[in-house]
Amino acid sequence: MSEQPRNAAAGQRQKQHHKAAQQATGRAFADAGLTRKNEEFMFQLNKQLEAQGAPADKKAEWLQATVEQLLAGQKDAKTA
C-alpha cells in the first residue's frame, strides 16, 4: 500500500483546479487592458472577496464596476 492518505490525490486535483481558476482570473484582468499594478490590485481584491464569502453574482458585479473605474482612471495616469 502507498504511504499517502486516501484522499491525497483528490486534494492534489483540487489544488490544481484552484490554481487554474486563479490563472484564468488573472488572464481575464490582463485581457481587460489594465496596467500591471491594477491587475495585481484586482487579483488581490478578488482573493479577498472569495475569502470573505461574497456572493458570486455580487462579486462579479463589484469586480466589473472596479475594472471600469480603473480603466477610466488609467486614462489620467491614476492607479489603484
pLDDT in tens, 11-70: 778 778 767 776 777 677 778 888 889 989 998 999 899 899 999 889 989 999 999 999
pLDDT at 6 over 60: yes
Model-wide pTM > 0.85: no
Asked if 37 contacts 80 with a C-beta cutoff of 8 angstroms, the reply is: yes
Task: Copy the grid coordinates of residue 63.
Answer: 469586480
